[in-house]
């Protein structure tokens, strides 16, 4: 029986929710054990390249995943198995060489990504990078496997796989935290903790690959074959999709690289960025997977059937849903940044100074949330119509812009002194990424308008401006309601204040969306009523 978009969205959302809760628990344990310390600061530099490949190639909604969904959609089991085996062999060879290079060049790479780091942090990061370098090799296998499972209508296992990785890290760091003691040298403590964290990360990535094998066998598309039997035209088509898509989707990860490069001169900046970024990525990932994963096969199907009017309708629906969800969440993060950071992180080694730094970063991230998902959805639309070149070209420009604005917004340091009048500190790195995503959204939208007739660009812009206005109103509402509610300080009471103020803000957001006639609000209301009645 064919699954509907709603059923797929439910399965993906459930799996993603479980994974995100596991990810949150992982971050809580890391924050309590390390805070903004040398061990976790070093880890963020060591993980940047393995993490780049794991997110880019192995991640759900990554280019390899999306390309597999597109390329396998019309293939039977036999052709799928031959195609997957060939792609696996090509990527595995390339990524194995890269893994070995990273392993033997770890000192050089850490010096490149974090030139201003303290020597002890560089040493810890280099050791961690050696341990995590095989993740680069595993990333391609993970991405191909999960994309293949999605193409064959298996959505739950790919969505829940990050939970396994999180559980391994939680167990490892919890054991370290409870047994670290107080009489050990600080450097030795950071080194030992950093090594444990790196080993747990590697084992977690390995587990994500191993868990998919039984399901690939069940679908009849798993095979170990060291030859390349796929037609050259098929491989050419695949590489034409994967190569530019990887680069364009990797824009965010490449921007992270440049952010950390400039952040290396600010002690604890990398750790603070990681904590704030996780708070944003957790809900963003849930919403992103719930919207993008079900819609991508639909874009492909409607394009192949040349059902133009339905394709335009689905694009509009996806854009409005992504903007509405991100604007609301962004307004909550901006208005309640400090209470949220205190609730999630303030314990163990995570002190008041860390709360202040991460809270300010959360505000900066909240401002940029709508542009991140909007850009991501537009890129998927281009994938769906088999145009990976346009996002690729725009990404090149965006990366260069991010490099410039990272430098400009943190003072524009040079041998001749600071050349920029603006210095927002570590917040400037986040503002830079926000501006770049906004730029990419505008260009992608205009390019899509040129490719597709009757896209109704003016309607999209009008709707999104109204949503931003509604988000501003709902954010102010949540801020003042939180201030008005007084309860004696405790974890539960703080949680209640955040829930109440956010809940009322959501009602305000919803009511104004109806008043200002935002598309798909009425259909969403009907869907929720149907689900409520069915219960």
Do 211 and 325 lie in one domain? The reply is: no
In a domain, 267, yes or no: yes
Do 392 and 441 lie in one domain? The reply is: yes
Tell me which residue has tokens 């991010």: 402
Tell me which of 253-262, 327-336, 436-445, 471-480 is least confident: 253-262
Residue 292's nearest CA partner among 377, 230, 406 is 377
CA-to-CA dists, residue 130 to 95, 101, 133, 361, 436, angstroms: 15, 10, 5, 30, 32
**Mean pLDDT value across the chain:** 79
Tell me which residue has tokens 């200002």: 516
The predicted structure's pLDDT at residue 252: 61
Please, are residues 114 and 182 in contact by the beta-carbon 8 Å criterion? no
Domain endpoint, select from 173, 199, 230: 230
Do 214 and 261 lie in one domain? The reply is: no
In a domain, 68, yes or no: yes
Mean pLDDT of 190-204: 91
Please, are residues 148 and 216 in contact by the beta-carbon 8 Å criterion? yes
Residue 489's nearest CA partner among 346, 373, 307 is 346
**Does residue 413 or residue 76 have the better pLDDT?**
413
Domain endpoint, select from 195, 230, 265: 230
Do 223 and 325 lie in one domain? The reply is: no
Residue 112's nearest CA partner among 247, 272, 255, 264 is 264
The predicted structure's pLDDT at residue 78: 58
Do 281 and 378 lie in one domain? The reply is: yes
Domain endpoint, select from 198, 230, 262: 230
In a domain, 237, yes or no: no
C-alpha 7/C-alpha 440 separation (Å) is: 32
Tell me which of 199-208, 228-237, 498-507 is least confident: 228-237
In a domain, 518, yes or no: yes
Band the pLDDT of 105: cuts 50, 70, 90: very high
Do 194 and 225 lie in one domain? The reply is: yes
In a domain, 112, yes or no: yes
Band the pLDDT of 81: cuts 50, 70, 90: low
Mean pLDDT of 323-333: 90
Task: Kindly compute the dihedral angle of the four CA atoms of residues 13, 15, 16, 17, in this order, to the nearest 10 degrees.
Answer: 80
Which residues pair with residue 423 across a beta bridge? Answer: 410
Task: Kindly compute the dihedral angle of the four CA atoms of residues 480, 483, 484, 487, in this order, to the nearest 10 degrees.
Answer: 150
Q: Check whether 99 has a pLDDT greater than 90.
A: yes
Q: What is the pLDDT of residues 381-392, one digit of tens each?
A: 887 777 777 887
Mean pLDDT of 62-91: 62
The domain total for the chain is 2
Provide the CB-side half-sphere exposure for 363 (13 A, CA): 16
Do 454 and 511 lie in one domain? The reply is: yes
C-alpha 305/C-alpha 532 separation (Å) is: 35
Tell me which residue has tokens 């965006």: 398
Q: What is the pLDDT of residues 357-401, one digit of tens each?
A: 899 999 999 998 888 888 888 887 887 777 777 887 888 888 889
In a domain, 17, yes or no: no
For 526, the domain range is 252-535
Q: What is the pLDDT of residues 482-497, one digit of tens each?
A: 999 888 888 899 999 9
Q: Check whether 176 has a pLDDT greater than 60.
A: yes
Tell me which of 72-76, 112-116, 310-314 is least confident: 72-76
The predicted structure's pLDDT at residue 309: 75
Do 191 and 282 lie in one domain? The reply is: no
Residue 168: count of CB within 10 angstroms of its CB: 20
Do 225 and 133 lie in one domain? The reply is: yes
Q: Which tokens is 173 given? A: 């760091």
């Amino acid at each position: 029986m064919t699954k509907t978009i709603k059923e797929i969205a439910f399965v993906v959302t459930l799996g993603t929710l479980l994974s995100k809760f596991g990810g949150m628990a992982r971050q809580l344990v890391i924050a309590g054990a390390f805070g903004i310390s040398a061990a976790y600061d070093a880890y963020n530099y060591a993980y940047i390249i393995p993490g780049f490949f794991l997110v880019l190639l192995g991640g759900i909604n990554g280019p390899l995943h999306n390309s597999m969904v597109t390329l396998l959609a019309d293939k039977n089991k036999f052709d799928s198995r031959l195609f997957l085996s060939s792609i696996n062999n090509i990527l595995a060879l390339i990524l194995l060489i890269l893994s070995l290079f990273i392993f033997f060049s770890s000192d050089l790479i850490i010096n490149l990504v974090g030139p201003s780091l303290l020597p002890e942090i560089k040493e810890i990061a280099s050791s961690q990078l050696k341990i995590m370098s095989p993740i680069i090799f595993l990333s391609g296998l993970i991405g191909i496997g999960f994309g293949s499972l999605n193409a064959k209508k298996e959505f739950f296992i790919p969505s829940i796989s990050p939970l396994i990785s999180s559980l391994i890290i939680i167990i490892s760091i919890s054991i370290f935290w409870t047994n670290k003691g107080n009489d050990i040298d600080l450097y030795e403590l950071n080194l030992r903790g950093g090594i444990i964290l790196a080993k747990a990360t590697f084992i977690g990535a390995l587990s994500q690959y191993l868990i998919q094998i039984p399901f690939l066998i069940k679908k009849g598309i798993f095979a170990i074959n060291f030859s390349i039997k796929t037609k050259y035209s098929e491989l050419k088509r695949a590489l034409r999709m994967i190569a530019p898509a990887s680069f364009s989707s990797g824009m965010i990860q490449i921007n992270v690289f440049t952010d950390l490069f400039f952040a290396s001169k600010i002690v604890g900046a990398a750790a603070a960025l990681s904590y704030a970024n996780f708070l944003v990525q957790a809900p963003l990932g849930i919403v992103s997977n719930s919207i993008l994963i079900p819609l991508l096969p639909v874009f492909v199907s409607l394009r192949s059937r040349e059902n133009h009017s339905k394709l335009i309708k689905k694009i509009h629906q996806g854009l409005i849903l992504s903007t509405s969800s991100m604007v609301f969440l962004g307004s909550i993060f901006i208005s309640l940044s400090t209470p949220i950071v205190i609730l999630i992180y303030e314990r163990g080694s995570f002190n008041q100074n860390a709360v202040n730094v991460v809270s300010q970063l959360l505000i900066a991230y909240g401002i940029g949330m709508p542009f991140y998902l909007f850009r991501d959805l537009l890129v998927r639309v281009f994938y769906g119509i088999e145009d990976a070149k346009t996002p690729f070209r725009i990404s090149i420009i965006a990366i260069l812009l991010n490099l410039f604005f990272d430098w400009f917004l943190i003072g524009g340091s040079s041998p001749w002194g600071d050349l920029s009048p603006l210095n927002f500190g570590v917040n400037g790195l986040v503002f830079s990424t926000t501006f770049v995503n906004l730029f990419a959204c505008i260009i992608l939208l205009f390019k899509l308008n040129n490719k597709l007739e009757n896209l109704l660009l003016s309607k999209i812009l009008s709707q999104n401006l109204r949503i931003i206005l509604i988000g501003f109103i709902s954010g102010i509402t949540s801020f003042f309601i939180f201030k008005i509610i007084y309860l004696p300080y405790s974890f539960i009471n703080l949680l209640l204040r955040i829930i109440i103020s956010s809940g009322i803000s959501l009602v305000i957001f919803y009511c104004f969306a109806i008043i200002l006639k935002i598309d798909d609000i009425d259909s969403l209301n009907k869907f929720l009523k149907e689900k409520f009645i069915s219960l």
